[in-house]
Amino acid sequence: MAGSWRRRRRLKKVKPGDGRPLRPYRRRHGLWRSVFEVDLEGHRYALDVDHFDLDGRARLYLDGRRHAVAEMPAAFPVPGGVIEAESSTYGLKRAHLVLDDGTEYQLRPVPHSPEAWRADLGRRSPGVSKAMAGGAITVLVVALVLGLPQLAEQITAIPAVAERVGTVTAPITLPAWLNTALTVGGVLAGLERALTLRYHWLIDGDTGWFGE
């Protein structure tokens, strides 16, 4: 019920596109752009997201022409369902076709994109793919467990907060080099998760737990 209400609200944000053509995808676009496609009832829909767009918009193309635009999180109406787009810190966490019966399909990444490379790796080397996915989860969980106490200590060091709730002292103070290593590892883990559109609200929320 809540999901249906949320989807209806997102559908109201959709604006018609201007018909301009979809830019061809180049390898260098992987630094800032994600494009996913799906074929539906004889037509091709393409979801195009510029991660540096300050307005946070997703663009939907129909047979190569801009069909609709909406701020993310977005839901675009298509025959038999909706195409949903939602971003995370490091990329997209949703690029899915959701049919009216509730069935979901992830859209396919366009060739030469980082997401397509990652999907191809999963098909060619499933063992390596699982190891990468498991390693990313491990890094993010460790970063969360070690980072939350330090974050709590920093927040309760603010005088106004300390007056209300007292102060918290982290049981372990990590050296600067380890904080840096965990932050870098967290960013790489977040990118790995984004390439496969995996997301969990707790471990993928933010990897910048650590101070200088």
Residue-wise pLDDT for 164-189, tens only, equals 888 888 787 778 888 899 889 999 99
- The per-residue pLDDT for 48 is 98
Structure-token pair, residue 96: 């899915």
> How far apart, in whole angstroms, are the C-alpha atoms of residue 59 and residue 85?
9
Residues facing residue 37 across a β-bridge: 46, 108
Indicate the range of 3-7, 53-57, 164-168, 206-210 predicted with least confidence.
206-210
Which whole number is the average pLDDT over 104-121?
A: 97
Supply φ then ψ for residue 158, to 5 degrees: -70, 125
Sketch the domain layout of the chain as residue ranges.
2-110, 125-195
- The per-residue pLDDT for 7 is 86
> How far apart, in whole angstroms, are the C-alpha atoms of residue 122 and residue 93?
18
Which whole number is the average pLDDT over 18-28?
A: 97
The architecture in CATH of the region 2-110 reads: Beta Barrel (2.40)
Residues facing residue 201 across a β-bridge: none
DSSP SS3 for 116: helix
- 161: burial class by Cβ within 10 Å (0-12, 13-18, 19+)? middle
pLDDT, tens digit (0-9, with 9 covering 90-100), for 29-77: 999 999 999 999 999 999 999 999 989 999 999 999 999 999 999 999 9
The residue that leads in pLDDT, 155 or 23, is: 23
Tell me how many helices (H) and strands (E) the chain has: 5, 10
Task: Name the residue among 86, 114, 120 with its Cα closest to residue 29.
Answer: 114
pLDDT at 209 over 70: no
